[in-house]
Every structure is written in C-alpha cells, then in structure tokens.
Amino acid sequence: MDEKTTYAVVDIETTGGNVQSGDRIIQFGCVLIENDQIVHQFATDVNPLRNIPKEIEHLTGISNKTVATAPYFEDVAATIFNLLEGCVFVAHNIQFDYSFLSEEMVRCGLPPLTLKGIDTVELAQILFPTEPSFTLNDLMNARGIVHTNPHQADSDAYATAELFLLMKQKLLELPLVTVEKITSIAAHCTMDTQFFFQTNLAEMKDNIAELPEQLMIKKGLALRKKNVSFEQKNHRERFDYPYTSDKKAALFTPHFELRDTQIRMMDTIQETLTGEKTEHIAIEAPTGIGKTFGYLFPAVFHASSEKPIVVSTYTTLLQQQLFYKDIVQLQKIIPFPIQAAMLKGKSHYIHLSKFDSLLQKPVTQKLEAIYQMKVLVWLTQTETGDLDELNLTSYDQPFWNKVRHRGWLGNETEDEWYEEDFYLHAKKLVQHAGIIVTNHAYLCHDLQKEDKTLSNFTSLIVDEAHHLSEVAQSSTSQVFRYYYLQKMGKRLGKKDDKSSLIGQLTDLLDKPTQSITQQVENIEMSVYFLMDTLSQLVDELLQFCAEAELNEEFRKDRYDIPYDREKDGLLFKKTSKQVIQLMNEVCFQGFEVVHALLKERERFTQTELHLITDFYDCLTDLENQKDIFITVFQNPNEQEVTWFSYTEKSPKNSFTAQQSYVTNDQFLKERLITKVPTIIYTGATLEVDGSFDYFQKQIGETALKTLKLNSPYDYEKQVRFWIPKEVTPIKSMTKKRYAQMIVRYLSSICRNSQENMLVLFTSYEPLHEVYAELQKKPEFFGREILAQGLSGSRERILKRFFRSQGGILLGADSFWEGVDLPGKSLSVIVVTRLPFESPDRPFVKAKHYWMKKNHLNPFYVDTLPKATLRLKQGLGRLVRSETDKGVFIVLDERLVHSNFGKQMQRSLPNGVRIEEIAENQMEEELRKFLIDEI
C-alpha cells in the first residue's frame, strides 16, 4: 500500500436514508490506516434533534436516550472534515456513507467531500468470489474475526478496516497476471476502487513473487491445476462391510454418534445392495437418525467405477452439501478412498474458451466488469469450474449466458482450452466414480434423452424421495415464455444493432459469399415479423384470459387461466399458425447460414467461431420453444392439462403457456423403475396413515418393500402441539379478518417472550398482509420480522433468523421443509392453516377431474395425503436434536373437529399429543414449557 496514502475507513449510523427528508447521522466512526497499520480511531455519538425510529434502535442499539447528551452534527462537522482531509475514503457500501456524509457537510456550511473513494463491498465481491453474503458481519464471521457490535459505527469502521487489510493481503497473494487483468477492467468499479488495484499492482511489480505450484498460466489466464488421482483397486475385496455394531462403532467413534435406527437402516440397505434379485425399497427415516450416513455408509462398500451407485437428491444445493460435506465427513472413517463425482448439466460449468474470448473485448457495463474480475479470482481457486460455487442468487445476467458451457459445434479437440475444459473434466470424474451424486431434475431430464449420461448404473438411491414425482412432473412439462422469446428476438436483433448476433454476423460477412449475406437479411426480416406476430398473439390470449377473469371472485397478484384446446383452439388458430411458420423460417435459414459458415471455419478466429456458436445456440433455443409452442397450441392429449399464467402488474411480459401431464407415474415406471434393478427411496415423510400406498402410486411402483424407522426424539416430552379453542373457522372470515386473527394470536404468543418463531403459510397473499400488519403493531417493534419474498434470498433470511433473538419468520413453500434451525434458534412454529393445495389451480383442477373420471375420490386419494405429508414436514422443522424443545400451534380447528383431521393426526410421530388450549393460557403455558422447566 502506498506509504504516503492515508486511508480513512468510515461508517455512519443514521435515522434513515435521505438527508433531504430530514434524516440525520446518529453515530460516526472512523479508523485511519497508514503503512498497512491501524494508526488512529475516532468515534462519536451525534444528537439528531429528532426521534430515532424504533426499527433503527432495534438494528443499532442506539436510542434517543443514548444520544440525548451527544453533540449535534454541526458541532463535530469541522472536526470530521479535517480528519478526512487528504485521505482516501473507504467504506462498506461507500455510496451511502459518502453521499450522506457529504450532504451533511454541505448542510452545515462546509464544502462537499471530494475525496477518492473505495468500496469494500465491491472489493469483497471480487476477491472473495464464493461468499454467499457480502454483509460486513457475514464476511467477518466467515474469516473467523469477532465483530463485537454490528451496526455500531465505531465497531463497523474497525471491522471494515480489518477487512480492508485482509483484502490487500488476499490481492497480493494472487498471480501478477490476474491482478494486471483485474486492474485493466477496474475502471468500471464504484468511485476510485480501481486505485486499490493500481497501488497494489505497483507494489507487486516491485517485488514479483514466484507462481505458486498449484497454479498454471495459459494465454495470460491463471488457473488452479486439477489435482485428481483415480483409485484403481477394488476395495470391496479388501474391506468387507462391518456387519456387527461393534465393528461399526470402531469406525464411527469418536467422530460421530451411531444410533440403533441408523444401524438398522445401514444393514437394510446393505442387504438390498447385496441381493442378486431386483429389489426396490422405501425407507422412511425421520429427522435425527443420521439418514445420509445411513445410506452412504453401506453404499461406499459396494460402489466401484464398473458398478457405480447413483445418489439423487432434491436440489443442487442439497447435492453440493452431500458431495462437499457429507461424503468428506464420511471419508474420515472409511478405510479406503471414496471415489465420488458430482453430475450436473453442462450449463453449470464455465466455458474457458468463451471466457477467454470475452476478456479480449472491451467491457461496457459495470456489472459485467465486476463479474469478469470475480471470475478471474475464482479461476485461481476452483478445480471444478462449477458456477454454483459462486453462490449467486441468480445467473440470469447476460454475462453468465455468454460464458456458461453449451458444448461445441464442431470437434471439441479443436478448442484451445480442450485440455483444461471443466465440463470434460467433470465427465471424466463421473466415468471413474463409484458414487455419482446428482439431483432429481438432472435425473428426470436424463431419462428423456436418447444419449443418456446415466446409462450403465444398476443401483440408485433417491434421497428426499417424496419430491421425485413433482420434479418428474416439472421436467416433463412444456413451458412457453413470452418474455424469453422477446429476449431471444432482441438477441438475434438486426443489422444496425452491433451488439446483436445478426449485427455482428453482418460484420463477419465480408469474408464469405454474397448468398449468405442475403440469407442473414432474410432472417432479420423473419425475426421482425415473428416478434410482431407473437406480440399480437399474446394480446389475443390476454384478451381471452381477461374474459375468463370475470369469473374470479376477487383480484389476485397472479392468474392461472385454464385453456381447453378443443373448445378454445379455433380462436387462436390463424395467428398461432403464423407464429409457427415464422419460427420455422428463422430456424431453417439460420441453420443454413451456420452450416455454410462452418464449411469455411478455417477463415475465422476463435472469437468469431464463438459468435457463430452463439448464433447456433440461440437458434437451437428458438427451435425448442417452437416445439413447445406446437405442443401447447396444436397437439391435444387427454392426459395433459394446459393453462396460461401472468401477473396483474405486468401481464404481457410475465405471460406463460404451460402444459403438464396429469400424472407422471407412467413416465417414471417406463423410464426408471423397470430399467434399474435396485432402487432405494428414502426421506423423512413417505408414509401416510400407516401406509406407503400414496408414495408408491405417485412414483409408479407396484411391489415396493417398505421400512419405517422410529424417531429418536421423545415427542411427548419435547413438543407441545396446540390448537386454540376459540379459533374461528377460516371459511367464515374475510381475507382481512383472517390476517388480523393471525396477528392477534402471534401477539398472544409473543407477549413477554423472546422465542424465535416460524409462521408457515400456504400462500403468499396472507403472508404479505400479515407482514404489513406486524409492521404497524407496537408490540412487535424491536423484533426482527422477516418475510419470504420480501427480506432477501432464502439463505439470507435463514441466516438472519438464526442470529436473531425474538425473531419472526413468515414463510411459505420451501420453508415447510429443509430448514435446519436447532436449539434456541427455533422454539415456536405457527401453522396458519392446514396445508391443502388450492383446488382452483388449473393443474390441480385437471388432475382431480381425471381422477373422478377414473372413479377415484380426489380429496382422499391426493389432496389429503399431500397435506398430511406437508404437516409432518412442518412439524419436522421444530425438533432437530434430543435436547430441543418446541411448541407447534395450528390455527385451524379442522385438525380436531373433522374426520379427515383425525386421519391426519394418525400420521404424526408417536408421542405427539394434540391439546386444545385457550388463547389467554398460551403465554403462561409457553413460558412454563420452554423456560421454567429448563
């Protein structure tokens, strides 16, 4: 760091975000850094001469009383101005601190700030590319540094200073070529953040370090070498499965606890994998028995590259957890190397050749510049090239489409980065693996392909198996998205737009023949007419939907309108035919251009070949959408249901047409169940009312062996399950009264209690209404209230909730399961109504109609079992260890006063006793159970 430079690391706390609206600073903190050392600290409270909002007091701990005797900002402004003069201003999210402080200086009669500024949020995004969160507290926790008083200006400033010094050290450890490339792009960073890279690059050039052995450089790009060794020996011959409990305990102790139910699961799976006959088994393994080790432990004794065992789980997040956490932990106790690999689609991997080509082009957008710098650092760390390692909440930005892997048009060996290609490396790992870890979506998509990646396996373990049917339904659905087609049309573009594919191809056409130029011009016209006709069709479809909306009882945020092709198809026949014809024209002419260009491929540079590949990929996507369009609008099938969806706010851009199979049991039966000799299904919620029949029918099994393992938890002692005596039947209430009732019960539960509470909803509308009501109630001031869809990503919400005291989390959908919050982080769950899916949804409506035609009762065959499993999943969030205690409250009297409610009760874990309790007793009983008895 420049010896002459002083860095002023600043943090401020304020009453709000706008000086012009009367918001003021309530605390100022500053740390000075010189020669890589913290040399001075300054902090002061500030009296804002206005009330501090309750939410700010809760966040910062700074109250009106705290600042009552503090100086006004007018009194300290000159001191702060002089302190900062000549320094480089550093802050975490600098645009807020710098602009707010500058405006306050002007208000007090001082000049605005004109300092150089560096943003540590951007630095962290670049230098710590795999972090899931860039809040100051999360970054410090990830580095093992104690941040004593988050949201206090003095503590935040000091923590930011420590982070700043850490990031300098991190930068200096990077290869010189990486830092040079980052510095050349960093002009796009916020304010003068580039200055950080420039000064440190100069320091690195004065003392050039050797390239670390684990790195390599190719074409000016630094990469981590892939360190992989393939085990050739067959360990099953040398290491037999330990059948006795003592032998298992000898391996597990002292690393892990071994439970009797877990041993039973292991031995059952060992027996299944050893058997020579075809056998499919479902094992319900309740939370807490160690399910993952329960199936992985016997699996690794059988798995080999000749006979791999495929393990499929619900999401890519769970897939990563299984691979990077569970298998790594299991390796500690297994006396031989576990050869495991992760299997994902190629689009999960970065294509080095495309990224290299992109680096040769000038950067025009700030976000793309940040992503490029982030990837440059990540490439020095990753051995997989799996973009999921970057933990982004969305990969929808154009940059990721430019660099993600789509395969090759020609011979892959012609790729300059063939030897280093991450996707090919992943495929090689899979070929040598004994355990192949995938996810349900990949598995179901692979089942539909002619050229299957998973073709030679005979054993499959399906974790989170209750999701397999719904994922199969999703993977076989056809979805036509108007917005996606709009983006595709814009990407194809026109000759005058040099950022579009057609515009760039036109510049390329001075090399080939005139006939190709004419074809590109024809494609340009066809694209124009296609987008115009498609827009007209969507307008017609929305008019049709608007007429159907008249039957709706009330306005909604999102609409799902059923479409009967036989009855309504003639309305759109002419326009839909025109759309298909134009799509055919674009695809046919486009592919002809690609083939013509590839005949002269030796004339083109690698970057130009990537342009042709991008054009081909876009045409392929258009052709896929064309096939979906034809399926949705022209191919009737009584086993399928079609509906249109859109939001009220943006009906046209959000418009989709979707077609799904009513049932997917035949798909799974034909493609999976009859093909794989050994399948082990497992999950915490497979059984309903003492039977696996519902699960078996959902996936198309007919002779499934089953095993239900007992829970290790004592639910009678650890759980209280309450139904309020006075709870009003939901159907008798308006939406507003329903939301008010929920808030009233939450108030009763929270009174004089600081327990964390999860409130589960079956839809977003009441969730949002309750969230708005809670914000107005004084009894909830000071509590952190988090809501799905309003408070950030799921991971961020859970992290904040885990750290809060007295927090309230309002969740739907995914929050009913997969939430692991042990101990004090979750003590109370409130279910706002029994989790029945809406019978008005087009897919549900069509499925139930089909069931009735087949003389089945939809409620008892489908709706009730599904809701019962959902309720079990919700209860499973409450108790995550033998020492946990919790209260589960259901605000729906149907659970105790209906026949189906009694059936749902029979599926709850042994020991759960449902009590009806008066609302005015809740506070005292909750305190007695959760606090007094500890």
For residue range 262-313, what is the model confidence (pLDDT) as tens digits? Answer: 999 999 999 999 987 779 999 999 988 999 999 999 999 999 989 999 999 9
Which residues share a beta bridge with 243? none
Structure tokens given for 791:
């408070």
**Over pLDDT 90: what percentage of the chain?**
63
Q: Tell me the mean pLDDT in the region 861-888.
A: 90
pLDDT band per the 50, 70, 90 thresholds, residue 403: very high
The alpha-carbon radius of gyration of the chain (Å, integer) is 31
The C-alpha atoms of residue 690 and residue 585 are separated, in whole angstroms, by 57
Please indicate whether residue 565 or residue 449 has the higher confidence score (pLDDT).
449
**Of 647, 297, 669, residue with least CA distance to 447:** 669
Q: What is the pLDDT of residue 74?
A: 96
Asked if residue 691 has pLDDT above 60, the reply is yes
The answer to whether residues 181 and 363 touch, using CB atoms and an 8 Å cutoff, is: no
**Shortest CA distance to 618 belongs to which of 455, 791, 406, 438?**
406
| Cα 593 to chain centroid, rounded | 38
357: confidence class by pLDDT, cuts 50, 70, 90: very high
Single out the residue of 634, 267, 322 nearest to residue 463, CA to CA.
322
C-alpha to C-alpha distance for 797 and 818, rounded to whole angstroms: 14
Which is higher by pLDDT, 506 or 301?
Answer: 301
Q: What are phi and psi of 13, to 5 degrees?
A: -110, 140
- Please, are residues 801 and 819 in contact by the beta-carbon 8 Å criterion? no
The answer for residues whose C-beta is within 8 angstroms of residue 388's C-beta and 6 or more apart is 316, 320, 344, 348
Nearest CA to 438 out of 316, 305, 287 is that of 316
Distance CA 458, CA 754 (A): 52
CB-count exposure of residue 224 (10 Å: 0-12, 13-18, 19+): middle
Domain borders along the chain are 6-210, 479-663, 715-931
CB atoms within 10 A of CB 400: 18
Contact 289, 261 (CB under 8 A): yes
Query: Which of the 8 DSSP states describes residue 49?
Result: S
Instruction: Compute how many other C-beta atoms are within 10 angstroms of the C-beta atom of residue 529.
Output: 15
Distance CA 831, CA 816 (A): 10
Closest CA to 811 of 828, 825, 830: 830
Q: Extract the annotated binding site.
A: 285-292
- Give the Å distances, CA to CA, from 148 to 118, 136, 832: 24, 12, 37
Residue 392 or residue 223, greater confidence = 223
Arithmetic mean of pLDDT over the chain: 90
What is the C-alpha separation between 220 and 226, in angstroms, rounded?
18
Instruction: Check: CB of residue 100 under 8 Å from CB of residue 14.
Output: yes
Nearest one of 830, 685, 693, 816 to 755, comparing CA atoms: 830
Residue 396 to residues 393, 399, 403, 484, 912, Cα–Cα distance (Å): 9, 8, 12, 11, 45
Q: Could you give the C-alpha distances from 267 to 240, 248, 330, 434, in angstroms and in order?
A: 13, 11, 17, 20
Cα-based distances in Å from 502 to 1, 190, 490, 493, 497: 47, 33, 10, 6, 8
CA 802-807-812 angle, 5° bins = 80
CB neighbourhood size of 923 (10 A): 16
Tens of pLDDT, residues 14-46: 999 899 999 999 999 999 999 999 999 999 999
What is the model's pLDDT at position 396? 78
Q: Which among 550, 573, 552, 548 has a CA at the least distance from the CA of 561?
A: 548
* pLDDT above 70 for 822: no
Answer for the pair 269, 298: CB distance below 8 angstroms, yes or no: yes
CA pair distance 891, 896, nearest whole angstrom:
11
Instruction: Please give the model's pTM, rounded to 2 decimal places.
Output: 0.87
Task: Tell the burial category of 107 from Cβ atoms under 10 Å away from its Cβ (0-12, 13-18, 19+).
Answer: middle
Say whether pLDDT at 233 is over 60. no
Q: Confidence band (pLDDT; 50, 70, 90) for 906?
A: very high
66: pLDDT strictly greater than 80: yes
Going by pLDDT thresholds of 50, 70 and 90, the confidence category of residue 845 is confident
- Are 182 and 369 in contact by the 8 Å Cβ rule? The answer is no
**Among 275-289, 507-521, 639-653, which is the least confidently predicted range?**
507-521
Q: Which residues contact 17 (CB under 8 A, 6 or more apart)?
A: 23, 96, 100
Higher pLDDT, 555 or 610: 610
Of 164-178, 600-614, 707-721, minimum mean pLDDT range: 600-614
Question: For position 513, what pLDDT does the model report?
Answer: 59
- What is the Cα–Cα distance from 862 to 860, expressed in whole angstroms? 6
How many helices (H) and strands (E) would you count in the chain? 39, 25
Contact call for residues 926 and 881 (beta carbons, < 8 A): no
Q: Which CATH superfamily is domain 715-931 in?
A: P-loop containing nucleotide triphosphate hydrolases (3.40.50.300)
CB contact at 8 A, 326 and 461: no
pLDDT at site 229: 67
- Name the DSSP letter for residue 752: T
DSSP annotation of 440 reads H
Cβ-based burial of 264 (10 A; exposed 0-12, middle 13-18, buried ≥19): middle
Confirm if 849 and 814 have CB atoms less than 8 A apart.
Answer: no
- Which of 851, 876, 853 shows the shortest CA–CA distance to 864? 851
pLDDT reading at 236 higher than 50:
no
Known binding-site residues for ATP equal: 285-292
Taking the C-alpha atoms of residue 134 and residue 125, their distance in angstroms, rounded to an integer, is: 7
Spelled out in words, what is the top-level CATH class assigned to the domain 6-210? alpha beta
Asked whether the predicted pLDDT for residue 684 surpasses 80, the reply is yes
Task: Out of 522-526, 548-552, 828-832, 862-866, pick the least confident.
Answer: 548-552
Cβ–Cβ < 8 Å for 492, 529? no
